[in-house]
Structure 1
Amino acid sequence: MTAHDDLSPAIDGDVYVSPRYLAGTTGIGDPALAPLRDLGWSLDHDDLGNAYLNAPDRRVRLGYLPEGEDDGLWRINAYEDPFAAPTWGVCFNDSCPTEFVTAFTTALAEAYQQGPDAYLAAPDPRSADRDPFLAVAPLINRGWQIDHPRWGVLAIQSPDGHAGLEYTTTRRLDPEAELTTRDARWQLWAGTSIDRPAWYATASTNTPVALLTAVTECVSDPAPLPRWREATFSYVKGMAQLTPIAAPRPPAPTPLDVQRAVSRRPAALPATASVPRWSTTSRPAVPGPRR
């Protein structure tokens, strides 16, 4: 099996981007919304084009905010009490690869079906299945290295230095700031530096470890992601490897196909009229911009 074999046969793109954390967003939100919509979560829109998903018990809410006040395209919050402050919150900005958001919402859908003990399970270093290190392990297992360790912060960087994760291990953080700024317990990013990332994702202190692990598993997966070359961001140049996706070759027409084509030919055409040629270079139209 090659690194490409696990990708969908209906490939939406003309290049593979590797490493995948440099792929950028697809500009399409439906795949990330689908796992929760499949559970019957209610979907609403405002007059600006923002979308809002609510769990049946109103304890989990997702906002897809292309017309939001900042670059936080995806904001997902969970509540012990629907009328209280969020118990945890996650944000993916507008350049984050959509596949990483989908990994999170897929894990969230699974946790929601298990009940509040799963989707409100705060990390706990004393628990074997809630230890925060479980979310870091996929990165370390795939060659990411601890980078410039400093007191109170665990920093891990990808082998090429173009992605990283920071986990604040000690100090107490402002709960409101964790939900509205990048000063959160967890921050995942890609680009040239954490200060000016190409994309970022944040998660607050009480975000369940299983949901975070789903994202780090997806981010560190060695398989590339398909993208349209025209839509790749400038930061990819010199950082990511772009491999053309060969157009699938249609099967050659059989003698029976030729005979059927000739039989369907209008009688007015001369006998030497050619059979329509089969294209081997066509591909889907390039999608438009997200907004």
Structure 2
Amino acid sequence: MTVEITPRLQEAIDEEWTWPNYPMPWCTRSEIREVSNQAQKIHDAIRNGHLLIHAHARDGHTTVAVGTYLHPGGKSVYLHGEDHLRQIADTFDSPAKALVAFEKVHAAEMRPGPAPLTDTERAAIAARSVFDVTTTEAETPRPEPETVPVYLADAGDHDALLDGFLDAHGDFEKWRTWSDETTHAIHESQTLRIERVHDAHGRETAWTVAAYETPVSDRVWHLTATGATPAPVLQRLLIHLANGDGWDTVICAPADEKTVTTATQPLTETGWKHTLTGHGIRWMSPDGDAGVRFDPLTAQDPQNPATWTIWAGPAPDRPAWTITTSPHTPSSLLADLCETLAHETGTRQTQPGQEHRPRRAASAPPAPTVTAGRPASRSR
């Protein structure tokens, strides 16, 4: 996310004061924490290969660089500063535009690739190496990621996904809680709110989306996703929310036979088998590794958190990740998620020694008629 360069922060950057060697009295404690937090995220993104640096240059007494985030929809960025003062000063729609703008300003000093490590970065590497008990000879080469159905893909970097979403959509505003454990993205209309819990474990709720008819009305529908939800699935969700036409809460219909059929059509068209169970209607992927469940009994309660459940994993009662939604969740959003599950792929990093369990052949039970309970009136 681009950090606003306030006059006090710009003064700190220009004179290259450092923390904690100098306390930067012109910056508040929260400003110092925000600057250092964003600088750490940039450092981690570069170190982990999520941010590719195209070129760098010296700008007076500091370093500037240009790079591109590699996650889906990733922006190209102009970086200013070093270590804990490194910040995103500008963003671009493409690497070409970023490089042209960078060369226009820094042509004489421009060099390809990332800048040399700073003294602080070298010291950090040396400190980490004390605790690294593995040797180069003993390291096992890391296997290449494999392409898998999207519901089996790795979770990826959820924080980078949210940062990229906020950078690309100015109609959503970022709010942080006092503890920095949670970030909220709120639409300018105040009727759509996204909550991201940063340290949630794989099976814990890490995302909550809530829609309201007005900024002060009761919640119309909501959705939750756990920490291990694959990034491409969340990317599809965020794209749908960004388009705006899929979460118009005024026209959200309750879960009835028509909305259920519309939402799950991508699954039935690609061979996902549906059956009647004690919990309603369930659609299973052909390999048996993912499923979607609709519970018509809970559709009578607009605030029920799990009328729809999407999951992947060994079994429905032992999921690796889940998405749950309430009855009035727009069928267009559910259809987008089902379309992603049915057609998209992702990548998964195979751990050394990990064996893939064989794919299960899916049986073909007779397809029952899809039914749902009577629609309930919306709570106001």
TM over 0.5: same fold?
A: yes
Give the corresponding residue for 1:16: 146
Give the corresponding residue for 1:141: 269
Which of 352, 356, 369 lines up with 1:237 in the alignment? 356
Quote how far apart the aligned CAs of 1:154 are: 1.2
Per-residue CA deviations over 1:133-191 (Å, capped at 9, x if unaligned) read 111011111110013x136711110111111110112444555551xxxxx11000011
Give the corresponding residue for 1:156: 283
Please show how residues 1-291 of structure 1 align to structure 2 within 5 Å: 14-32=144-162, 34-35=164-165, 37-40=167-170, 41-46=172-177, 47-67=179-199, 71-110=204-243, 112=244, 114=245, 118-123=248-253, 131-147=259-275, 149-150=276-277, 153-178=280-305, 184-221=306-343, 223-230=344-351, 237-238=356-357
For the residue of structure 2 that corresponds to 1:64, the secondary structure is strand
**Bigger share in helix:** 2
Quote how far apart the aligned CAs of 1:19 are: 2.4
- Aligned mates of 1:119, 1:39 — CA distance in 2: 20
- Aligned mates of 1:216, 1:139 — CA distance in 2: 6
Question: With structure 1 as the length reference, what TM-score do the two structures score?
Answer: 0.65
Quote how far apart the aligned CAs of 1:49 are: 3.4
**Structure 1 residues 26 and 54, CA, compared in 2 at 3 Å: closer, same or farther?**
same
Quote how far apart the aligned CAs of 1:17 are: 3.4
**Structure 1 residues 76 and 125, CA, compared in 2 at 3 Å: closer, same or farther?**
closer
Quote how far apart the aligned CAs of 1:126 are: 7.9
Quote how far apart the aligned CAs of 1:33 are: 5.4
For the residue of structure 1 that corresponds to 2:259, the secondary structure is coil
- Aligned mates of 2:262, 2:182 — CA distance in 1: 34
> Could you list the runs of 5+ residues in structure 2 that have no partner in the other structure?
1-69, 73-142, 360-380
**Structure 1 residues 72 and 207, CA, compared in 2 at 3 Å: closer, same or farther?**
same
**Bigger share in strand:** 2
- Aligned mates of 2:200, 2:301 — CA distance in 1: 23
User: Is the 8 Å Cα contact of residues 14 and 226 (structure 1) preserved in structure 2?
Assistant: no
User: Is the 8 Å Cα contact of residues 139 and 220 (structure 1) preserved in structure 2?
Assistant: yes
The higher relative CO (CA closer than 8 Å, separation ≥ 6) is in 1
Question: With structure 2 as the length reference, what TM-score do the two structures score?
Answer: 0.50
> Size of the alignment, in residue pairs?
216
User: Is the 8 Å Cα contact of residues 187 and 201 (structure 1) preserved in structure 2?
Assistant: yes
**Structure 1 residues 37 and 87, CA, compared in 2 at 3 Å: closer, same or farther?**
farther
User: Is the 8 Å Cα contact of residues 92 and 201 (structure 1) preserved in structure 2?
Assistant: yes
Per-residue CA deviations over 1:72-106 (Å, capped at 9, x if unaligned) read 11110000132233110011100110111111111
Letter in 2 for 1:42: E
Per-residue CA deviations over 1:169-225 (Å, capped at 9, x if unaligned) read 2444555551xxxxx11000011111110111011111111111111111111x531
> Could you list the runs of 5+ residues in structure 1 that have no partner in the other structure?
1-9, 179-183, 241-291
Give the corresponding residue for 2:43: none
Give the corresponding residue for 1:254: none
Q: RMSD of aligned C-alpha atoms?
A: 3.1
User: Is the 8 Å Cα contact of residues 186 and 205 (structure 1) preserved in structure 2?
Assistant: yes
- Aligned mates of 1:188, 1:50 — CA distance in 2: 24
